[in-house]
Copies of this chain bind each other. A is one copy, B any other.
Amino acid sequence: MSHTDPSGAVPASIDVPEAARWLAGRVLRTPVLRAPAIDRLAGARVLLKAENLQAGGSYKMRGGLFAVGRLAAAGHTGVVAQSTGNHAVAVALAARRFELAATVVLPVDAAPTKVARARAAGARVVLAGTTVEERLAVARRVSDETGHPIVDAYDHPDVIAGQGSASLELIEEAERAGTPLDALVLPVGGGGGVAGACLAATGRPIEVYGVEPHGCDSLARSLAAGRPVPVTPAPTIADGLRPSCVGELPFAVLRTRLRGVVRVDDDEIAEAFRLLLLELKVLAEPSGAAGLAGALRLAADGGLRSPAAADGALRSPAIDWGLRSPVGEQLLATAAGGPRKRTVGVVLTGGNVEAELVARLAASARLEEEVVAA
């Protein structure tokens, strides 16, 4: 929280290109994947940045490693973190890499695989409450007792910059392939990843969208209110997207740079999960699949098909805020006189999911197939 100044200006200290340079060779350069079936469903070229294949199983490794690495270089001997899971795993792994002590605070209902991964990395794991406030209170106490700084899961410039490096790699790879991104879609937890995406896209005509589960829409409400607004998160299979409030620093970035927020429900997230599993052949956790769910919702509402349709996105019931930077007019293709196929990037943010949930979601696909076949 101390990282924002009262004016709400974005601190110059969030340096995505610097994070990307620092992380090169320290994290996996994850592949950008495509599946014809997903392109067809979206009516667009969909480039999927597979950060579920990242070390630690999520793109949180980037922010965690960059932040912890800088703290280690500054002489700290330990760190404290709290999260619903992936950030805690990332900080635990990063601390081990730099030989720092780590205490991570997870909710009592955290996914067991995330708890196990944090423990396996050698961190002290504290389970506390179910809300971010409860975890933060514990984290602050531990920080006071140990003198070790808290690495916030999203309200931290190095964490935002690190997460943004995934988007920057995707943006640059799309450019190298001759298909620069028109849009970039990420799921929203505390907003750090999507804020990093906005900063990664700086200076390029890329529309950045955030995706929130219905009832976990602190960002959409905050953007509408002009200030961070907490919510009581509704139940969702996307356990990583349930912080009760968007972070202040991400909000300061997003309020002037984000094009819109797309809301999705659990059925849409589950369908995106199955597409990724059976068509792209990768395992995303529901939170990690939510970006694709949002991109498909956007496409269904016409937001990805053509510049003209993109303007219609504002009228979509799924999008209740957006169009700060109407760049649609620039997107008309010269070829064939019609609108060219748009390219949308999606960051698959994580892949740490319980076997039981995989079985349940995959079994639903079979039921759907049977319904279709009947």
The yes or no answer to A331 lying at the interface (CB within 8 A) is no
The yes or no answer to A323 lying at the interface (CB within 8 A) is no
Contacts of A353 in B (CB 8 A): 278
- Number of chain A residues close to chain B: CB under 8 A: 28
How far apart are the CA atoms of A362 and B277 in the complex, in Å?
12
The yes or no answer to A73 lying at the interface (CB within 8 A) is no
Contacts of A355 in B (CB 8 A): 274, 278, 362-363, 365-366, 369
Contacts of A354 in B (CB 8 A): 366
The yes or no answer to A282 lying at the interface (CB within 8 A) is yes
Contacts of A280 in B (CB 8 A): 53
Contacts of A363 in B (CB 8 A): 355-356, 359
How far apart are the CA atoms of A183 and B277 in the complex, in Å?
29
Select A362's contact among B52, B53, B351, B358, beta carbons within 8 Å: B358
How far apart are the CA atoms of A278 and B362 in the complex, in Å?
14
Closest to A274 in B: B355
Question: Given A31-B31, A281-B57, A283-B277, is A356 in contact with B366 using a C-beta cutoff of 8 Å?
Answer: yes
Closest to A348 in B: B281
> Do A358 and B277 touch (CB < 8 A)?
yes
Among A274, A282, A355, A369, residue most surrounded by chain B Cβ atoms (within 10 Å) = A355
The yes or no answer to A33 lying at the interface (CB within 8 A) is yes
How far apart are the CA atoms of A362 and B361 in the complex, in Å?
10
> Do B369 and A281 touch (CB < 8 A)?
no
> Do A281 and B362 touch (CB < 8 A)?
no
Contacts of A113 in B (CB 8 A): 278
Contacts of A359 in B (CB 8 A): 358-360, 362-363, 365-366
Least CB distance from A282 to B in Å reads 5
A:328-361 near B, CB below 8 Å: 351, 353-356, 358-360
Contacts of A277 in B (CB 8 A): 283, 358
Question: Given A31-B31, A362-B362, is A53 in contact with B282 using a C-beta cutoff of 8 Å?
Answer: yes
Closest to A116 in B: B369
Contacts of A278 in B (CB 8 A): 113, 283, 353, 355, 358
Least CB distance from A178 to B in Å reads 12
Q: List 18 A-B contacts (CB under 8 A).
A: A31-B31, A53-B282, A277-B358, A278-B353, A278-B355, A278-B358, A282-B283, A354-B366, A355-B362, A355-B365, A355-B366, A355-B369, A356-B363, A358-B358, A358-B359, A358-B362, A359-B362, A359-B366
| Chain A contacts to B: CB under 8 angstroms | 30-31, 33, 52-53, 57, 113, 274, 277-278, 280-284, 351, 353-356, 358-360, 362-363, 365-366, 369
- Closest 4 interchain pairs by CB? A355-B365, A281-B351, A359-B363, A359-B362
